[in-house]
């Protein structure tokens, strides 16, 4: 594989983006692919530690991530990006950054209702946002705009992790020989 691929997982906090992305990463590594997982919580610490969660800060941060993903994919890495990335307009810009170098960009919508994400609340963010301790929480006082035409949709509320992994693996085979 000369160039890599960017798999962009988008969905609400708590939807299961990172859980599924980590399993995909594990499978691809076992198959000897060069893989990098860029996870929102981890990447923010080293790429944009100054960024808050306003629309402007999120946009700037995600554009930086898109450029990192593009550089990695340009060098044959399969890049798994797990970010809430709530705005359609910003995801469109991310796609343009990646695809301008003829690198495949696969948007994966990790579908899960807000109610289920609030129930799961693995980091306690929704509880804090509902008490007013966190501002600009996607789904609470900031919008999440579902992608109108993602390449892949997985439903983490109604499907098992294994079912969702199989959906992704079946759909990426035209870009990655599995």
**How far is residue 115's CA from residue 58's CA, in Å, rounded to a whole number?**
23
1 three-class SS: coil
Whether the predicted pLDDT of 95 surpasses 80? yes
Kind of pairing, strands 78-82 and 5-10? Answer: parallel
pTM, rounded to two decimals: 0.93
Residues linked to residue 111 through DSSP beta bridges, in sequence order: 155
Give 84's pLDDT tier (boundaries 50, 70, 90): very high
Per residue in 12-48, pLDDT (tens digit) is 999 999 999 999 999 999 999 999 999 977 776 656 6
Q: Which of 19-28, 129-138, 145-154, 159-168 has the lowest mean pLDDT?
A: 129-138
Record: fold of 5-172: Rossmann fold (3.40.50)
pLDDT at 55 over 90: no
Note every long-range contact of 153-158, with CB atoms under 8 Å and residues 24 or more positions apart, other chains counting.
Answer: 153/108, 153/109, 153/111, 154/20, 154/108, 154/109, 154/110, 154/111, 155/111, 155/112, 156/11, 156/15, 156/16, 156/19, 156/20, 156/110, 156/111, 156/112, 157/111, 157/112, 157/113, 157/116
Catalytic residues: 85
- pLDDT tens-digit map of 124-138: 999 999 999 988 899
- What residue spans define the domains of the chain? 5-172
The rounded radius of gyration (Å) of the Cα atoms in the chain is: 16
Burial of 131 (0-12, 13-18, 19+ CB in 10 A): exposed
């Amino acid at each position: 594989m000369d160039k890599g691929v960017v798999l962009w997982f988008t969905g609400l906090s708590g939807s299961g983006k990172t859980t599924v992305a980590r399993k995909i990463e594990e499978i691809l590594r076992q198959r000897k692919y060069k893989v990098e997982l860029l996870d929102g919580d981890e990447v923010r610490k080293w790429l944009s530690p100054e960024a808050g969660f306003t629309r402007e800060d999120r946009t700037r941060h995600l554009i930086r991530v898109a450029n990192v993903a593009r550089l990695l994919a340009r060098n044959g890495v399969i890049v798994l990006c797990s970010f809430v990335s709530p705005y359609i307009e910003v995801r469109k810009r991310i796609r343009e950054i990646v695809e301008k170098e003829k690198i495949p960009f696969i948007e994966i919508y990790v579908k899960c209702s807000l109610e289920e994400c609030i129930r799961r609340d693995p980091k306690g963010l929704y509880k804090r946002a509902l008490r007013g301790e966190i501002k600009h929480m996607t789904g609470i006082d900031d919008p999440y705009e579902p992608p109108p035409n993602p390449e892949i949709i997985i439903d983490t509320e109604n499907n098992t992790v294994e079912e969702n992994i199989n959906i992704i693996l079946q759909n990426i085979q035209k870009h990655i020989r599995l």
